Amino acid sequence: MNLNREAAKAAQEIIAETNKKIVPTSEGRRNTTKSEVENLVTKMLGVLQMNGVYACMLFLYSRTSGTDKVVSEITRKKLIKMTELLGKKAATEDNAEEVLKYLTDNICNDLDTLILTKQLWEQTLTYTRYSAKARE
C-alpha cells in the first residue's frame, strides 16, 4: 500500500469538505476561508510534530467554536479513519473519551505503530496545509 498516496487522498478530501462547510458567525453564515484552514492545519501540524499523536488529537478536540471547530472535526475524523490503513480498527464514535482511549490502547501502545501513525498524519497535514494555501 502506498501511504503517500493515501495521505494525498485524505488531504484532498479534507480540503473538499472544508470548502463546502458553512460556518456560523455573529454576522450570519459564511464559507471557511483558505487562510483559516491553513492557519489551523499549521497549528495541528506543529502540535503533532512537537508533542505527538495523542496531543494532536487533544488539540483537535479543544477547538470548540467557529471555523476551528468545523475544520478540526473534519480533520479529526479523517486522521482517525486513516489508522485503519495501519491494520487497526478505527474508533467509530466521535466521542473524545472513546477516541483518546482508542489512541492509547491501539496506537500509543506499540512504538512502531505510533511512529508510523505520526508520519502518516504529518504527511497528510502537510499536504492539507499546502492544498489550503493553493485553494482558490
Asked if residue 11 is part of any domain, the answer here is yes
Asked if residue 13 is part of any domain, the answer here is yes
Domains in the chain: how many in total?
1
Asked if residue 33 is part of any domain, the answer here is yes
Asked if residue 132 is part of any domain, the answer here is no
Cell (9 digits) for 86? 495501519
Asked if residue 135 is part of any domain, the answer here is no
What is the CB neighbour count within 10 angstroms for residue 109? 10
pLDDT values of the chain reduced to their tens digit, one per residue, 136 residues? 899 999 999 999 999 998 887 766 666 666 777 888 899 999 999 999 999 999 999 999 999 888 889 899 999 999 999 999 888 888 877 789 999 999 999 999 999 999 999 999 999 999 999 998 887 6
Asked if residue 54 is part of any domain, the answer here is yes
Which of 25-40 are b and which e, b meaning 16 or more Cβ less than 10 Å from the residue's Cβ? eeeeeeebebebbbbb
Tell me the pTM. Answer: 0.90
Q: In sequence order, which ranges of the chain are alpha helices (DSSP H)? A: 3-20, 34-51, 53-62, 66-82, 96-102, 111-134
Non-local CB neighbours of 24 within 8 Å, separated by 6+ positions: 66
- Could you tell me the residue range of the domain that residue 71 belongs to? 3-126
CATH number at residue 78: 1.10.520.30
Asked if residue 36 is part of any domain, the answer here is yes
